[in-house]
C-alpha cells in the first residue's frame, strides 16, 4: 500500500494512493498514518480490505498539498557515510560500524514544501536517502532478518545538510542537520510487502534540472536489516520511528571547487524507484 497524508500543515488527513494512481480518503477508516496504525495489524488489514473493496471515497488531488506521510514521528535516526561511493568521493574511510546521528522530528516537512536556507549559511547541501519506518518495537535484535521484520515501510527522505555547521563549527554533526525544514519526507509510505528488495532501489537527485546523484541502495555499506539490528543494541526503536539510511555519491561536498552549494531560488528534485518523487524550492530563512 501507498499511505500518505494530505491537506494544510497541521491539518493533514490520512489517504491512500490506489493501484490506478487515484487518491482515496482514509479518514473514515483510520484517524492518521502513524506508529499506532503501523503497529496494529488489524487496522492495517481494515485499510487493505477497504481499498480492495473499492469502498474508499475519491479525493480531488487538484491543488491539494501532500504532507509528510507520518504524523507524530517519535525520532529520526540517521546513518552517515553509508555508501561506498559517497565515502570515496569525500575521501573518507568506510566506517567499521554505522555512523549514527539524530535529527529532530520538527525538521520534517512535506515532500514539496519550501526548504529554508539558514541565515549565514554558505554550504547548504543535498542528500537523497532511503527512509525506513519502524513498525514493531525493536530491542536487541539478533539478525539482519530480525531487522527487516521490524520495518513497516519505506519512503523518500531529503537529508538536507549545512556542511559548515556540520563539520567546521565544532561538536557533533547535529547542528548542521537540524535546521528548520531540513527533512522533507514522502510523498508516501510504501509498506514493506511492496518493496521486494530494499538493497535494489535506484536513487536520483537533480538540482535545477541537472542530475547530481544517480545511485543505488546496493552500494550501502550497512544494509537496511543490519542498520535496524545495530541500532536496536543502543536504543529502543518504536513504531513510527524513522531511519535515514545514508546518501550515495554526488553531493556538493564531494564536488570540485567551487562547490555548488544550494542558494535561495534553487530547485531540488529527487526520487527513489517505486517510492515517489519530491520537489522543493529553496528560499532564505
Are 44 and 185 in the same domain? no
Are 120 and 174 in the same domain? yes
The residue segments making up the domain with residue 263 are 76-284
Q: How many Å is the maximal CA-CA distance in the chain? A: 56
Are 108 and 24 in the same domain? no
E-assigned strands of the chain?
2-6, 13-17, 23-25, 76-80, 99-103, 108-109, 115-117, 124-125, 128-134, 151-158, 161-162, 183-184, 189-191, 202-207, 210-216, 242-244, 267-272, 276-284
Are 121 and 243 in the same domain? yes
* pLDDT level of residue 91 (50, 70, 90 thresholds): confident
Residue 25: phi and psi, rounded to 5, are: -85, 125
Q: What is the CATH number of the domain that holds 80?
A: 3.90.850.10
Note the pTM of the prediction, 2 decimals.
Answer: 0.97
User: What DSSP letter does each residue of 83-134 carry, written as one string?
Assistant: BHHHHHHHTPPPPSS-EEEEE-GGGEE-TTS-EEEPTT-S-EE--EEEEEEE
* 39 found inside a domain: yes
pLDDT tens readout for residues 177-196: 999 999 999 999 999 999 99
pLDDT averaged over every residue in the chain: 96
- Asked if 113 and 252 count as a contact pair (C-beta separation under 8 A), the reply is no
**Between 86 and 103, whose confidence is greater?**
103
Q: What is the mean pLDDT of residues 42-52?
A: 95
DSSP β-bridge partners for residue 4: 15
* pLDDT value, residue 86: 87
Are 41 and 80 in the same domain? no
* pLDDT level of residue 262 (50, 70, 90 thresholds): very high
* pLDDT value, residue 240: 98
Q: What is the mean pLDDT of residues 128-149?
A: 98
Are 148 and 43 in the same domain? no
Are 25 and 156 in the same domain? no
* pLDDT value, residue 200: 98
pLDDT tens readout for residues 57-89: 999 999 999 999 999 999 999 999 999 988 888
Q: What is the mean pLDDT of residues 47-51?
A: 95
pLDDT tens readout for residues 200-213: 999 999 999 999 99
The structural domain count of the chain equals 2
* 15 found inside a domain: yes
* 66 found inside a domain: no
Q: What is the mean pLDDT of residues 21-25?
A: 96
Distance between CA 192 and CA 152 in Å, rounded?
6
* 18 found inside a domain: yes
Are 22 and 86 in the same domain? no
- Asked if 76 and 102 count as a contact pair (C-beta separation under 8 A), the reply is yes
* pLDDT level of residue 172 (50, 70, 90 thresholds): confident
- Asked if 199 and 218 count as a contact pair (C-beta separation under 8 A), the reply is yes
Are 211 and 103 in the same domain? yes
- DSSP category for residue 167: I
Amino acid at each position: 500500500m501507498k499511505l500518505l497524508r494530505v491537506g494544510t500543515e497541521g491539518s493533514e488527513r490520512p489517504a491512500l494512493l490506489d493501484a490506478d494512481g487515484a487518491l482515496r480518503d482514509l479518514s473514515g477508516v483510520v484517524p492518521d498514518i502513524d506508529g499506532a496504525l503501523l503497529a496494529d495489524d488489524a487496522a492495517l488489514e481494515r485499510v487493505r480490505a477497504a481499498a480492495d473493496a473499492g469502498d474508499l471515497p475519491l479525493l480531488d488531488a487538484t491543488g491539494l498539498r501532500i504532507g509528510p506521510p507520518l504524523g507524530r514521528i517519535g525520532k529520526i535516526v540517521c546513518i552517515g557515510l553509508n555508501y561506498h561511493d559517497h565515502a570515496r568521493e569525500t575521501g573518507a574511510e568506510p566506517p567499521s560500524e554505522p555512523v549514527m546521528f539524530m535529527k529532530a522530528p520538527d525538521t520534517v516537512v512535506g515532500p514539496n514544501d519550501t526548504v529554508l536556507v539558514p541565515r549565514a549559511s554558505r554550504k547548504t547541501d543535498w542528500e537523497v536517502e532511503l527512509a525506513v519506518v519502524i513498525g514493531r518495537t525493536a530491542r536487541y535484535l539478533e539478525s539482519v532478518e530480525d531487522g527487516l521484520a521490524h520495518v513497516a515501510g519505506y519512503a523518500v527522505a531529503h537529508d538536507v545538510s549545512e556542511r559548515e555547521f556540520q563539520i567546521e563549527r565544532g561538536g557533533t554533526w547535529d547542528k548542521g542537520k537540524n535546521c528548520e525544514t531540513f527533512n522533507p519526507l514522502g510523498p508516501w509510505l510504501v509498506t514493506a510487502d511492496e518493496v521486494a528488495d530494499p538493497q535494489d532501489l535506484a536513487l536520483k537527485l537533480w538540482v535545477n534540472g541537472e542530475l547530481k546523484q544517480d545511485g543505488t541502495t546496493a552500494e550501502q555499506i550497512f544494509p537496511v536489516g543490519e542498520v535496524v539490528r545495530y541500532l536496536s543494541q543502543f536504543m529502543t526503536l518504536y513504531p513510527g520511528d524513522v531511519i535515514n539510511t545514508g546518501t550515495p555519491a554526488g553531493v556538493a561536498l564531494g564536488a570540485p571547487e567551487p562547490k555548488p552549494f544550494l542558494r535561495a531560488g534553487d530547485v531540488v528534485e529527487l526520487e527513489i524507484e517505486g517510492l515517489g518523487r519530491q520537489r522543493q524550492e529553496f528560499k532564505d530563512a
